[in-house]
Amino acid sequence: MNINDIALTLETGIGVKTAAMLIAEFGSADAIYDAIYDATATEIIRRTSIREPLAEQLTRKEAHHRAERELAYIKKHGLTAIASTDADYPPLVREMSDPPHVLYVNGDVAALRMRCVSMVGTRTLSTYGQTMCDKLVRQLADRVPDLCIVSGLAFGIDVHCHRAALRYGVPTVAVLANTLPGVTPAPHADIARDIVAHGGAIVSECHSASKQTGNFYLARNRIIAGLSEGTIVVEAPFESGALSTADFALGYDRTVMAVPGRGTDDMSKGTNALIKNQRAAMVCSGEDVIRALAWDLYVPEVGERPVTPAPGLSADALGLLGCVPGGDAVSVDALVEMTALGHPALAPLLLELEFAGKIQRLPGGSYTKI
């Protein structure tokens, strides 16, 4: 990856598909700019079918000044940038019809080339959704070597899958819709640090000059789908962004799986529809996932992975943990009564326990012990 790769992504009027077309025609960003330097705009237009103003813009190399600033930004924040022509670039992403030419990575780039499966779903997950996240990751961790769990670090199913991966010693990759090293949503910054610390990675296609207008989430979902051999929709209503990830996966000819739910549960209507319409294979266990991906043809049995220890807890957090019943949900108001602590004092302790993977927050604001 060099300045030409960065510059290509910063050229006004060149999106991911145009960049992919130019790379396919010339072979690399270096070759694109070398050809432009040696040829006239007319020859470039004839060879690529791009419009004349864009061809003339490329000959001026105006984006290279911004690319120099971008390289400085990458170095300052300790990021890694990989281009689609680099050996480190994830091969499954390169197979996409609209791959980002440059990916920005915080963490271990090698995680992007592991045996990846995406797990996505609703932000308002149920206890059932939490249980299935944990079950699938645990069972896959026991069977699949070189496993990596991919998701989007959003509230709900996404972050629960990342936490389960950390709990069972599996590297995990979070694909974000913002410029790194920032983390959205901000409350998940600690989880992002844990992901990087335990051999995973935080990934984005957004450069430092990207305007954060909320329009990168759909594009982010295509990368989640593209990184993985298959995508599991754990729990999702009809109107869920997770279903767009499934659509992208189907478009890339990847395996889509869905966890079934009760017909009366709104949070399972989207997953049930995927199964009913034969757009997704029904999975209820890690073994189901392995068979759906045909991993059983070459995946040997592996020993139990070490569970990642939770970070040290404060004495107050440990005391609060003893008040949370195992298996049953408890409300914040009930914890206030049991501990004689007010809501302001209780909130940071609950957050500490949640980040440590000791408790789960349930819909409605109640908590249960993991």
Give residue-wise pLDDT tens across range 278-320: 999 999 999 999 999 999 876 555 554 554 444 567 767 777 8
In whole angstroms, what is the distance from residue 280 CA to residue 272 CA? 9
Phi, psi of 8 (to 5 degrees): -60, -40
Task: Give the CATH class of 109-297.
Answer: alpha beta
User: How far lies 127's CA from each of 152, 206, 209, 354, in Å?
Assistant: 20, 34, 40, 15
In whole angstroms, what is the distance from residue 20 CA to residue 123 CA? 33
Range 88-91 contact pairs with CB under 8 angstroms and sequence separation of 24 or more:
88/112, 88/113, 90/116, 90/227
Give residue-wise pLDDT tens across range 5-40: 999 999 988 889 989 988 988 899 998 888 776 666
Give residue-wise pLDDT tens across range 176-185: 999 999 999 9
Give the SS3 label for residue 275.
helix
Q: Where are the domains of the chain?
A: 3-87, 109-297, 315-369
Answer left, alpha or beta for residue 283, where phi above 0 means left and psi between -120 and 50 means alpha. beta
Six token digits for residue 71: 């390289």
Give residue-wise pLDDT tens across range 124-172: 989 999 999 999 999 999 999 999 999 999 999 999 999 999 999 999 9
Q: Please determine whether the domains at 109-297 and 315-369 fall in the same fold group of CATH.
A: no
Give residue-wise pLDDT tens across range 330-346: 888 888 776 767 788 78
Cis check for the bond before 185: say yes or no (omega within 30 of 0).
yes
Mean pLDDT to the nearest integer, 82-89: 96
Overall pTM surpassing 0.75 (yes/no): yes
Mean pLDDT to the nearest integer, 108-123: 97
Contact indicator for 67, 102 with CB cutoff of 8 Å: no
Q: Tokens 């025609």 belong to which residue?
A: 25
Report the percentage of the chain scoring pLDDT > 90: 62
Tell me the CATH architecture of domain 315-369: Orthogonal Bundle (1.10)
Give residue-wise pLDDT tens across range 185-217: 999 999 999 999 999 999 999 999 888 766 789
Give the pLDDT of residue 307. 46
In whole angstroms, what is the distance from residue 302 CA to residue 193 CA? 27
**Residue 52, exposed/middle/buried by CB under 10 A (0-12, 13-18, 19+)?**
exposed
